[in-house]
Structure 1
């Protein structure tokens, strides 16, 4: 389809059924991609802009800059003050927020379908016209330091940061998304403004909208907002490709212990997992669900139900562009850490050597299929799915295709991925008040 001077390319990526669930993509001449999923039966719409930048793109001295910038984009533009931004969305009963991850950042607003033009105008204005003023940088520094302090007060959160550091060391993936007190205190307005200019170019952005939306209308409104801001001047620009890379994690047997006077000890035992593009990820998803993904999972049954050693115990996977993690988390009384670790390690070893039973696999496939669909029941989740897919894979997969891929996982697939992932020597992160002898024994859990 063409509009005015330069031609925008529009494709239907997923046809949907009777116009429901249709996913379309338009690439504007300035390299900006716009994807929408149409769901006429709902009365809401979620509009988001995804930026191809995360804490992974920071040098050591810039650690925390991506997240700092996320805060600053809410502080005002040439057209709107911080109060104008928040009050305009509040006035229509909408919600607005943002989040920063290791490989991307997302800003979004969820509103009634009739208020979508307002959401588009406000969010586009924030991303293209942020002022990043010295006084806002100084004021927001205090807010971010409070956020770091709040996170530090939750050892269940901190232990995951500690595990990333254990696995990745002093690398961009190993450093915390929020930064540290020292790096946040050291960041200057100039550094953050340069970071904004470099990473918020339209070629690094994906616009996503889901709900009762019309694709052509969304494209027209987004294009108008970006052109008004002078952000689409490079007509020959092409979108950046999804990340790739060939990082191999070779950590094994590392132990990090943070001695804190907490009521519980918090542990993560884990090993390298799979990159998010790895075809074995479907089998790993089934394995993860059966091992620690619910109340019927093996770890929950062994650690909590049979022995009452923990309230919370689960396994998880996180996939990045070129590598991943598989981890088991548990929170327990400090004097029971070694029992919990022994049981978790025994179960991981058992599944690595023997695999899961067919019954466990059938149950996990059903659980994963159900939770996948139930997790996509609101427009916010749909916007997340299409925006992240465009940014991270450059393609879209229908829910039916996802369910087919999960259903196609065989017991042999799960056994193979269990051998590949769980047969590695694990590393361990622990936060809690362990006595010296207990702390010395932690190495036994990973040997």
Structure 2
């Protein structure tokens, strides 16, 4: 059973009771992320995420770690473009302790100057680690260039320059302006009693300032482009992407099936053609990255430089085929069953259910049931797929991001076409 309540100051609380579960997952979600960082302090949301684990007036960093370890739990956080989540997963009997611990670090973190300087170095290490992993870094660069000059294009973790200039005063001001009640969702899933939870949360979060932060709601534009990143690597890594749907689009189920057929698994067209039939890549796949007002459909592959143009051509040809030739009924049924299976399996864990509660609230302002999702998938027709592919797979939306030994590579936007 899913229940939603609102604390007196506007904080939304959503819980799903799973009486046969031994665990409970709780997440405090802030509905603004890196896209709401100012350009000159890009990375501030992520930096604050790190600092909330460094100490409060009653706990130091080791106390925080020991307290969650003492109950065999998990305490962590993550920052995305449109939200930040601080979460814990514990046995149901330890929920009150986890809630109090989360509330303490969320509301009372000290932002000690010495901790800020140490954690700044840690964030620098994270930035350098990302740059040392080309199969991860290529995706970050792709988004930066796809949405260049728009907040969605800013790196989630920031840059050395921007993180290096963020002061304690800036961080405190940032936290105080962003941690407003109407921008907070507390999502809980597991063996939990909603009324008992509300009593606990009302006591701990009653002093959170009411109101909401004014968000950047400008919509990004797309343009055809190719970006080369010269790096001494054995492979050339590529992301080839186009426009996709926002999170709440009525056509989103069509997009899910397109992605599944084209590159969503080892039986997909991309994997079978690029890897199994031609042996051109070890890793090749597609994915959809969707936000509240924009999205992108991306194909990734890593290959030898000598095979690069063949890989790009195969990807483009498979995308073109989706625009003109109906998929088979067998592919449709397979994709729907694949998506249903993935969804149902993911909901066996309380942390995934907690995440689903929060994301549904953020993007739909309501809970989307499993039967509604299944019905949405089963309504998709082959003509729906062709129509959406023609809407999204267009030359004017194409971005190609390349990374590797590219000194003598010559490739122009006119050479890639859908």
Residue 29 of structure 1 corresponds to 8
How far is the alpha carbon of 1:334 from its aligned partner?
Answer: 1.9
Q: Which structure 2 residue ranges, 5 or more long, are not aligned? A: none
1:199 is aligned to 2:170: no
SS of 2:280's equivalent in the other structure is coil
Distance in structure 1 (CA, Å) of the matches to 2:417 and 2:404: 18
Structure 1's 318 and 255: CA in aligned 2 closer, same or farther, altered over 3 A?
same
SS at match of 1:440: coil
Unaligned stretches of 5+ residues in structure 1: 1-21
Instruction: Give the 3 Å change call, closer, same or farther, for CA 442–336 of structure 1 in structure 2.
Output: farther
Corresponding position: 1:427 with 2:399 = yes
- Residues 396/446 of structure 1: CA separation in 2 closer, same or farther (3 Å cut): same
Give 2:348's match in structure 1, choosing from 339, 360, 377. Answer: 377
Q: What SS class does the counterpart of residue 431 from structure 1 fall into?
A: strand
User: CA, structure 1 residues 26+48, in 2 after alignment: closer, same or farther (shift >3 Å)?
Assistant: same
Q: Indicate the residue corresponding to 1:13 in structure 2.
A: none
1:286 is the counterpart of 2:263: no
**TM-score (norm. length: structure 2):** 0.96
Displacement over 4 Å in runs of 4+: 237-241, 243-246
Distance in 2 of aligned mates of 1:394 and 1:154? 37
Q: Say whether the 8 Å CA contact 1:56–1:173 is kept in structure 2.
A: yes
Per-residue Cα deviation, 1:295-350 (whole angstroms, up to 9, x for no partner): 11111111011001011111111111111111111111122111100100111112
Moved more, 114-123 or 73-82: 73-82
Aligned residue number for residue 389 of structure 1: 360
Distance 2:275 2:192 in 1: 46
Superposed CA deviations along residues 399-431 of structure 1, whole A, max 9, x for unmatched, are 222122112212121121111112344210011
Conservation of the 8 A alpha-carbon contact between 2:177 and 2:213: no
Work out the CA distance in 2 between the residues paired with 1:178 and 1:356: 40
Distance 2:327 2:68 in 1: 49
CA distance in 2, matches of 1:339, 1:113: 54
TM (normalized to structure 1)?
Answer: 0.90
Closer, same or farther in 2 for the Cα pair 1:73/1:402, shift >3 Å? same
Per-residue deviation, 1:246: 5.9
Is contact 1:255–1:442 with CA below 8 Å preserved after alignment? yes
Quote the RMSD (CA, aligned, Å). 1.7
Q: Which residue of 2 aligns with 1:161?
A: 140
User: How far apart are residue 114 of structure 1 and its match?
Assistant: 0.5
8 A contact 1:50–1:388 mirrored in 2:
no
- Judge conservation of contact 2:86–2:102 (CA < 8 Å) in 1: yes
**Aligned counterpart in structure 2 of residue 94 of structure 1, from 59, 73, 76:** 73
Aligned equivalents of 1:244, 1:405: Cα separation in 2: 31
Question: Which residue in the other structure is 1:128 paired with?
Answer: 107
